[in-house]
């Protein structure tokens, strides 16, 4: 049997469905993955062997660019952060949490502001676009007729995940992009004011010459993997300002002659971004260290 290169597109009930040269192979993982405490993920580039489309073995996982825990996907190129204008109300804090997490993983964020049709004259629409485009992020504000076209352009040759607060309309948007998926949409539960989880396994689906995870990602974010010293690096506008700070490892908090603080005062850096940065920094610094138990 020859070794074949491919990509895991779906993982279900212990089987890994690997795509290679126009075919999908059903495989099982060799036992040594468990011994090495490696879990193959959807999105992994792999080497496998196969005697038929339904009988193969996953042998090796190539080095990953990145990996997410929710949804469990590897080698993600971009994350579409679906954030709603109303119902639930827009939150700079929540949006910045997603952006920081994506930056930390080396995933390019795309901001998609949903439910703008419910309050089309809201001044926040223009403000959000200005704040985040100035940083260099792609911001999509849908207009009825072209609401998906602008997003479609982002997909070719990339692996994309959708994420955002519960009830922001992630599943609805995915359904609109690819009606044949007919993903279950979660209505906002009126009593709880947040969406119900409806997604089960993860699959990468070919859409518009790219691949999209059919499972929307996390809706609440804690900075479990980010160190305080790394946080400033996850704000692109701080990275640009940092070389002009007096101190090389400036945390942009209490230090004198800080260029980030100067730019906040001159409105070159958004006040909301800086306030959220300080809050995130405090959260990370107040975290108690987690000691893993020895097996």
d(C-alpha 127, C-alpha 281), whole Å? 25
Instruction: Cite the annotated binding site by residue number.
Output: 114-117, 164-172, 245, 250, 252, 258
Q: What is the pLDDT of residue 186?
A: 43
CB atoms within 10 A of CB 294: 4
* Number of alpha carbons in the 13 Å side-chain half-sphere of residue 182: 1
CA 248 to chain centre: 30
174-207 tens-digit pLDDT: 878 877 665 544 444 343 444 444 445 788 989 8
Task: Detail the residues annotated as belonging to a binding site for Zn(2+).
Answer: 245, 250, 252, 258
CATH tag for 78-213 (out of 3.40.50.1370, 3.40.50.2000, 3.40.50.970, 3.40.50.300): 3.40.50.300
Could you report the per-residue pLDDT of 224-268, keeping only the tens digit for each? 789 999 999 999 999 999 999 999 889 999 999 999 999 999 999
- What separation in angstroms does the CA of 10 have from each of 4, 18, 57, 125, 273? 17, 7, 15, 37, 37
CATH number of the domain located at residue range(s) 3-61 in this protein: 2.40.50.140
Distance CA 137, CA 131 (A): 9
Q: Given pLDDT bands bounded at 50, 70 and 90, which one contains residue 172?
A: confident
Q: Are 103 and 234 contacting, i.e. CB atoms less than 8 angstroms apart?
A: yes
Which part of the chain is CATH 2.40.50.140?
A: 3-61
Residues of the chain with CATH 1.10.40.50: 231-286
CA–CA separation, 126 vs 199, rounded Å?
A: 33
Q: Does residue 29 contact residue 22 with C-beta atoms inside 8 Å?
A: no
Q: H or E segment at 126? A: helix 124-135
Does residue 73 have a pLDDT over 80? Answer: yes
Averaged over 81-103, what is the pLDDT? 93
CA distance 159 to 163: 13
Is there a contact between 186 and 196 (Cβ–Cβ < 8 Å)?
Answer: yes
d(CA 73, CA 41): 6
Domain made up of 231-286: CATH architecture: Orthogonal Bundle (1.10)
The structure's pTM equals 0.86
Q: Which helix (H) or strand (E) holds 84?
A: strand 78-84
Burial letters 257-282, b for 16+ CB under 10 A, else e: ebbbbebbeeeebbebbbebbeebbe
Say how many C-beta atoms besides its own lie within 10 A of residue 205's C-beta. 17
Binding site feature residues for GTP? 114-117, 164-172
Residues of the chain with CATH 3.40.50.300: 78-213
Rounded Cα distance, 70 and 219, in Å? 9
């Amino acid at each position: 049997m020859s070794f074949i290169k491919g990509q895991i597109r779906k993982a279900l009930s212990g089987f890994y469905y690997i795509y290679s040269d126009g075919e999908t192979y059903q495989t099982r993982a060799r036992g040594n993955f468990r011994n090495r405490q490696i879990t193959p993920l959807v999105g992994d580039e792999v080497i496998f062997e196969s005697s038929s489309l339904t009988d193969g073995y996953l042998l090796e996982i190539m080095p990953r660019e990145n990996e997410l825990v929710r949804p469990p996907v590897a080698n993600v190129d971009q994350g579409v952060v679906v954030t709603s204008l109303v119902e639930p109300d827009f939150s700079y804090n929540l949006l910045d949490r997603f952006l920081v997490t994506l930056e930390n993983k080396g995933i390019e964020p795309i901001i998609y502001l949903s439910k703008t049709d419910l309050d089309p004259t809201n001044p926040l629409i223009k403000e959000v676009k200005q704040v985040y485009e100035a940083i260099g992020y792609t911001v999509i504000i849908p207009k009825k007729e072209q609401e998906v076209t602008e997003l479609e352009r982002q997909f070719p040759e990339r692996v994309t995940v959708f994420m955002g607060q519960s009830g922001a309309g992630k599943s609805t948007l995915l359904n609109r992009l690819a009606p044949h998926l007919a993903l279950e949409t979660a209505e906002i539960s009126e009593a709880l004011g947040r969406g119900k989880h409806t997604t089960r396994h993860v699959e990468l689906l070919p859409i518009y010459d790219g691949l999209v995870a059919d499972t929307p990602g996390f809706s609440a974010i804690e900075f479990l993997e980010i160190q305080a010293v790394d946080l400033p690096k996850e704000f692109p506008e701080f990275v640009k300002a940092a070389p002009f700070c007096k101190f090389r490892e400036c945390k942009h908090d209490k230090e004198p002659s800080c260029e980030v603080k100067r730019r906040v005062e001159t409105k070159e850096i958004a006040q909301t971004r800086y306030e959220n940065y300080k809050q995130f920094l405090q959260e990370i610094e107040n975290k108690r260290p987690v000691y893993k138990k020895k097996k």
